[in-house]
Amino acid sequence: MNNRIDELFNQLGEENQAAFVAYVCAGDPDADTSLEIMHALDRAGVDLIELGVPFSDPLADGIVNQMAADRALNSGASVEQTLGIIRAFRQRSVTPVVLFTYLNPIYAYGFRKFHEDALDAGADGILNLDLPPDEQSINDELCEANKLLNIRIIAPTTPKERMATITGTGRGFIYYISREGVTGQRSELAEGIGKQVAEIKNQTDLPVVVGFGISTPEHSAEVAKVADGVVVGSAIVNTIARHAGEEDLCEMVYDFVKPLVDAAKSV
């Protein structure tokens, strides 16, 4: 049975369009505003939202996303609050939501309970940043079937032979991070994105989306030409950081994201 992620990429594939994926941190700058930001992304035409679960030690994140998690935690964010935001979002939207998280918050909450509650809240997928697929395959608890799609990551340094292992355990889509290191805005795109996406597609039929360093409409359009989806995170989170506390924050997020979405859809 397809979930919202599969349905989205099936539809966009028929329309020959790339998906636009936006990352924001749940609870940044506070729970109520975070929910309204998600709705602003929805209005801007975002196809899928990656929702970060606030964590105190986000090792794969650059300073912009680290500070977002810090703002969220300081405002009272928690796993329970994150799931509540998704549940409230589902009252008005069917846009797919992928939880972007580390294992620590999941285990603190309860591994099985987290997956059950996240699914019940309306999440569609999960991207565990520090869970290697080969570790999951030898741990019965981590192998337990659940209906949240496991999104896998491939990096520029991933050997070809390991790509098969990663893609073979992935569902929904593959997230190709186009640069080494942590998340963050860049003035220029990484080189060889098209070649790397083609290499991954030789290993899997799953859609391939590309993130890390995409921050302008020109970037968005360029990546959309060679990938099934475009991911923008730090640039959006930075917009939230700059205007947190302002009454029209959500409109500012909308105004920033809409040209990025339009550029991806114009290809």
Catalytic residue numbers, as ranges: 50, 61
CB atoms within 10 A of CB 191: 11
Q: Secondary structure of 104-166 in the HEC alphabet? A: HHHHHHCHHHHHHHHHHHCCCEEEECCCCHHHHHCCHHHHCCCCCEECEEECCCCCHHHHHHH
Say which residue the tokens 């964590």 belong to.
Answer: 55
DSSP H helical ranges for the chain: 4-15, 31-43, 63-74, 79-90, 103-109, 111-121, 133-137, 140-143, 160-169, 193-201, 217-224, 234-243, 249-265
Helix (H, G, I), strand (E, B) or coil at 86: helix
Nearest-5° Cα angle at 222, 35 to 28: 20
Helix (H, G, I), strand (E, B) or coil at 68: helix
Structure tokens at 21: 């994926």
CA distance 62 to 164: 28
